Amino acid sequence: MKIIFFLFLFLSLTQPDAVFGQGNDREWPAYGGDPGGMRHAALSHITPDNVNQLKVAWTYRTGELEYYRNNDAAEKAAFEATPLMVEGVLYLSTPSNRVIALDAVSGAEKWTFDPKVNLKEDYSEITSRGVSTWPGPDVVGNNLERRIYLATIDGRMISLSAATGKPISDFGKKGTIDLRKGIGPISVTSPPAIIGNTLITGTSMGDNQRLNYERGVVRAYDVLTGKLKWSWDPIPRAAGDPARATWIGKKAAQTGAANAWSILSVDPERDLVFIPTTSPSPDYYGGERIGKNEYANSIVALRASTGELVWHFQTVHHDLWDYDNAAQPALINVERNGLKLPAVAVGTKMGHIFILHRETGKPLFRVEERPVPRSEVPGEQAYPTQPFPILPRPVGPQHISVADAWGLTEVEREIAENRIASLRNEGPFTPPSLQGTMVTPSNAGGVHWGGVTYDPERKLLITNINRLVAVVRLIPREKLKEEEGKNEALLRAETGLQEGTPYVLKRDYLFARNESGLQMQTKPPWGTLLAIDMNSGELKWEVPLGFMYDPQTYPEAVNWGSINFGGALTTAGGLTFVAASLDGFFRAFDTETGELLWQNQLPASGQSTPMSYQIDKKQYVVISAGGHGKLGTPLGDYVVAYALE
């Protein structure tokens, strides 16, 4: 046994850090740069010393806004795509799922493909975070043409020729797989993962309107033919599955979702795919699914070739807070006791960052189960404990009190105090209640879908987070109209019908709405960028990210941070690039210190994640800038590339 253990440690120690790119042209062949989603460019042409010379190299407009005429798409649209760059060509997708190929040096359009998605359907959101390409670096001896894979919000998987943008006729049926067949009206908002000749995809769906949502299955297809290879359901249905005992109740088998809507990561050397699963439906009431609900709200490692379960680690037991695993799991190497170990870094909405061994799922930094508050809602049984990482320490606010109330005026601060005092508020994992509960952090993070990036030279894990508090209230179904009649704020709050349960959800946030926009009710900062030293697990620095109030009127607003969506990019040159904030700036920070070194106003806000590549010794940094309908930022249709003059 000891021999096996030391052999395992030796093999782990000798595994190299993941790198991407070949020859003189440094590419960005996957959503996260490499298949494991480190989002790090091993490029050093742009540095802290010269980043202030960064200028716009080219701008491309997708024409997307024309597609929002005569429908309500603009209210739900967000340009969240991260382009790929392989063989001198950029490939990206728009919110309406059009695919565009651009010359990576000039930004000139090479081709476009329109899948003709019906934007009048009732989608939860209208977005696409990007496309995938095959063959990958782990495919040897292939002489077939390069392909681009698009997953759509109307539930299709499409294979395109990278050269022409035309569908590959021998994939599925004339280039398309119907992902809704046998499942129901699911969407896909993230690019599929590709490992060898296997294409793996999760699904997206709304999850607050009813109990019996569609199954959140993860499916794998042959990359050439589109033939189904395997499927895996995050809600255990088989009688022999030991996790099934953690789903209790007559309606437990009707539960849907627990789907993986975010980015999947793959480890080709280990034949593993890492699945970030989400909350079962509905998000805020689990009385029909009492128990731990294993596989939901988990990081699940599957054998990529077969779909066999290898290990799982649950980040939230019996989710009642919409604490989806929204971030792509980042495959990194960390050093513990002098050994380099393969790890999975998991950033969560709760502000918890779990560092797990990639081959076993065991925490590499200590995690402990702690008691959490009980539910007072009839029919509900909140799980008595939750996992808390000791290191890295939770990021973002973990508890808000009346002392944290904030307002621009004394009257506004008092209104915030009274609101906070009226809510159930017992710290992390306080369950939803009939009186109203503060959920800290909110379902928007903590760490959100923007995820984490890892600088392997500096051993720093970088992430941007929200410091936003949600307010949730459950209302007995028969009393909904009566309660809305008493409280005008309930009418404005988001409604989740949660059909199949006794309660309707009302969700809002700790801000007020007035003529000037959002009035935040908790102390700033409301969004930050931070770095964690992966050798020690300790926070190295944290700085405000962006602003939400006009600095000309409120000079201190530059220190207040902004609600943000979209991720960061690190480079070997020692820079961290990030947009994400509501103010519409694209920024570069010193990765070592967090110092802001450069910023540039985008033509529309960049609720997306940037990427970088190098051609002919020139490094480019590219970001999609199209705004966000649900956040209320002005929409645009820009792809902007930056380079040194």
Token pair for residue 513? 């709405």
Q: How many CA atoms lie within 13 A of 389 on its CB side?
A: 26
Three-state DSSP state, 53: helix
Reported for 308-316, long-range contacts at CB under 8 A and 24+ positions apart, including other chains, are 309/232, 310/272, 310/361, 311/360, 311/361, 312/361, 313/346, 313/354, 313/356, 313/361, 313/363, 314/387, 315/346, 315/348, 315/350, 315/352, 315/354, 315/387, 316/279, 316/348, 316/350, 316/386, 316/387
Could you tell me which residues come within 8 angstroms of residue 604 by beta carbon, excluding any fewer than 6 positions away? 79, 584, 625, 626, 627, 633, 634, 635, 636, 637, 638
Give the C-alpha separation, 333 to 15, whole Å: 8
E strand map for 182-245: 193-195, 198-201, 218-222, 228-232
The sign of the CA dihedral 540, 341, 10, 43 is: negative
- CA torsion, points 207, 212, 213, 216, in degrees to nearest 10? 110
Token pair belonging to 76: 């739900």
Catalytic residue selected from 154, 267, 283, 322: 322
Q: Phi first, then psi: give them for residue 231, nearest 5 degrees.
A: -140, 150
Among candidate residues 284, 511, 516, 515, the one with its CA nearest the CA of residue 419: 511
What is the spatial distance between Cα 76 and Cα 92, in angstroms, rounded to a whole number?
A: 19
Cis peptide bond upstream of 234, omega within 30: no
Residue type, 454: Y
DSSP string, 490-512: HHHSEEE--BTSSEEEEEEESEE
Q: How far apart are the first and last CA of the chain?
A: 59
Q: Is-contact 462 529, C-beta < 8 A?
A: yes
- The Cα 314–Cα 326 span in angstroms is 14
Element (H, E) at 6: helix 2-13
What distance in Å separates the CA atoms of residue 321 and residue 319, rounded to the nearest whole number?
6
Single-letter code of the amino acid located at 431: P
* DSSP label at residue 628: B
Secondary structure letter of residue 70 according to DSSP = T
Spatial distance between the Cα atoms of 406 and 397, rounded to a whole number of angstroms: 14
What strand order describes the sheet that includes 494-496? 437-439, 470-476, 503-509, 494-496
Contact 323, 316 (CB under 8 A): yes
Q: How many CB atoms lie within 10 A of CB 329?
A: 31
322 catalytic per annotation: yes
CB atoms within 10 A of CB 311: 17
φ, ψ of residue 5 in degrees (nearest 5): -65, -45
Catalytic positions, written as ranges? 322
